[in-house]
Amino acid sequence: MKLQIKSLSGELTEDQKKYLRKKTLWLEEHLPNAATLTVGIREHITKKSNQAFEVIIHLVSPKIKKPVYVKIFRNDFTSAIDLAKDKIEGIIVKNKEKNPRFHFKIPRIGSRKKSNEQSA
């Protein structure tokens, strides 16, 4: 998977980039190599709060017809990234259940041999 990180306003610190890479690790393991994940981060300064973050995630994969697009707005950088990650994971799992042609590796819990032995 190809990961692109874009700062739409200002510069991202190295800590923010590391946190973002750490959170997208699950996606890198479960998406095909031809997939492209673009993460855009915009910092808004408003009168009510000192700063607010907008996270925009755009996922393009050759196995799905329409690209996946998630937009999150939170006051904290880490909470915005966490919520965006959870949403994109939910969308990927839902697409996998609906469309069997959308291939990515789902983590297995237990093994099928044990369940087959118990039912016999």
In the chain, the percentage of residues whose pLDDT exceeds 70 is: 73
Going by their DSSP bridges, the two strands 68-74 and 52-60 should be labelled as antiparallel
* 50 or 18, higher pLDDT: 18
- Let me know if domain 2-119 sits in CATH 3.30.160.100: yes
The predicted-structure confidence for 20-32, as pLDDT tens digits, reads as follows 889 888 777 777 7
Alpha helices in 4-76 (DSSP H): 14-23, 25-30
What are the boundaries of each domain within the chain?
Answer: 2-119
- Averaged pLDDT, 101-111: 56
Residue 120 has pLDDT above 50, yes or no: no
> Which of 15, 4, 18, 75 is closest to 45 using CA atoms?
75
Residue 114 has pLDDT above 60, yes or no: no
And the tokens for 80? 């915005």
Please check whether residue 60 is in contact with residue 35, taking contact to mean a CB–CB distance below 8 angstroms.
yes
